[in-house]
């Protein structure tokens, strides 16, 4: 169980990650920026958490030693058929969508990711279940369906924002979260469990990255990291978000 200190900032709304991994503790705080779901609050000690986390909303973000702790419910801030009829956030399925039987359920998830990620000698596999979290608090999953089978017909069950819930109601993205990338194709989209950020389909220059490694990443300059940092990019074909972890992953519970 994590213990909040008085400096812990609660950003608004909901999110969660569940699936694979384990839990853990907290402390410290982070400054926030205004979002579509609430107002901002700045707290003392905010510089302890990397500045990119000010773009995360619908989450609670804090610091616990060498880990950033992100708590989320994995409830999206956009409409979906998976809210179910009667919900204010329900929308009818789009043409050709094959709605799966699951519905969005608010989760109590905790991700612990390194504050200062570093590239390891050997990459490691991403897990089934939560491998990261988007800036809107929705879980990021890898490129596989159940049993590590390729995503094929399952893609037909994605709503118009490319998400869907699994059996326990965890709404998540396997592929480009178009609700976010529509706001900027080179924007910060999220972070993986190894602490490295995920960006959209383009570099800040507007160019499509051409030198991505097998994990879908490269070292480069971004608005959040003007000195340069390893980061992942979303692509249109497998592995979509990330093919592997380039750093040492933390945990998700």
Tens digit of each residue's pLDDT (9 = 90 or more) over 128-138:
999 999 999 99
pLDDT tens digits for 207-245?
999 899 999 999 999 999 999 999 999 999 999 999 999
User: In this model, does residue 190 exceed pLDDT 60?
Assistant: yes
* Total domains, the chain: 1
Residue 1 lies in a domain: no
Beta strands in 39-146, from DSSP E residues, in sequence order? 59-64, 67-72, 109-114, 119-124, 132-134, 139-140, 144-145
In terms of residue numbers, what domain contains 194?
9-252
d(C-alpha 194, C-alpha 176), whole Å: 19
d(C-alpha 18, C-alpha 20), whole Å: 6
User: In this model, does residue 28 exceed pLDDT 50?
Assistant: no
Return all residues near 189 (Cβ < 8 A) that are at least 6 apart: 134, 135, 177, 180, 181, 197, 198, 199, 200, 234
Percent of the chain with pLDDT over 70: 81
Task: Please give the structure tokens belonging to residue 169.
Answer: 């109601």
Residue 246 lies in a domain: yes
Residue 188 lies in a domain: yes
Q: Check residue 222 and give its pLDDT.
A: 97
d(C-alpha 29, C-alpha 8), whole Å: 4
Residue 145 lies in a domain: yes
User: How far are the Cα atoms of 80, 90, 141, 186, 234 from residue 183, in angstroms, in the given order?
Assistant: 18, 22, 21, 9, 14
Residue 4 lies in a domain: no
The pLDDT of 4-23, averaged and rounded, is 35
Q: Check residue 210 and give its pLDDT.
A: 86
């Amino acid at each position: 169980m994590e213990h909040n200190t008085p400096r812990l900032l609660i950003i608004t709304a909901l999110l969660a990650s569940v699936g694979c991994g384990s839990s853990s503790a907290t402390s410290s705080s982070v400054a926030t920026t205004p979002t579509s779901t609430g107002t901002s609050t700045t707290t003392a000690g905010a510089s302890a958490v990397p500045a990119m986390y000010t773009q995360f909303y619908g989450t609670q973000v804090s610091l616990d030693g060498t880990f950033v702790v992100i708590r989320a419910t994995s409830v999206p801030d956009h409409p979906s058929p998976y809210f179910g009829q009667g919900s204010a956030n329900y929308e009818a399925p789009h043409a050709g969508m094959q709605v799966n039987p699951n519905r969005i359920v608010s989760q109590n998830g905790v991700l612990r990711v390194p504050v200062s990620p570093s590239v390891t000698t050997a990459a490691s596999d991403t897990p089934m279940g939560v491998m990261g979290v988007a800036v809107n608090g929705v879980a990021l999953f890898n490129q596989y369906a159940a049993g590590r089978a390729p995503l094929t017909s399952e893609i037909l069950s994605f709503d118009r924002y490319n998400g869907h819930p699994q059996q326990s109601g965890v709404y998540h993205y396997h592929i480009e979260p178009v609700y976010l990338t529509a706001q900027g194709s080179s924007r910060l989209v999220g972070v993986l469990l190894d602490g490295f950020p995920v960006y959209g389909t383009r570099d800040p220059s507007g160019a499509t990255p051409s030198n991505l490694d097998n994990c879908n990443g490269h070292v480069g300059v971004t608005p959040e990291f003007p000195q340069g940092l390893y980061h992942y990019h979303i692509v249109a074909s497998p592995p979509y978000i990330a093919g592997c972890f380039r750093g040492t992953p933390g945990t998700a519970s």
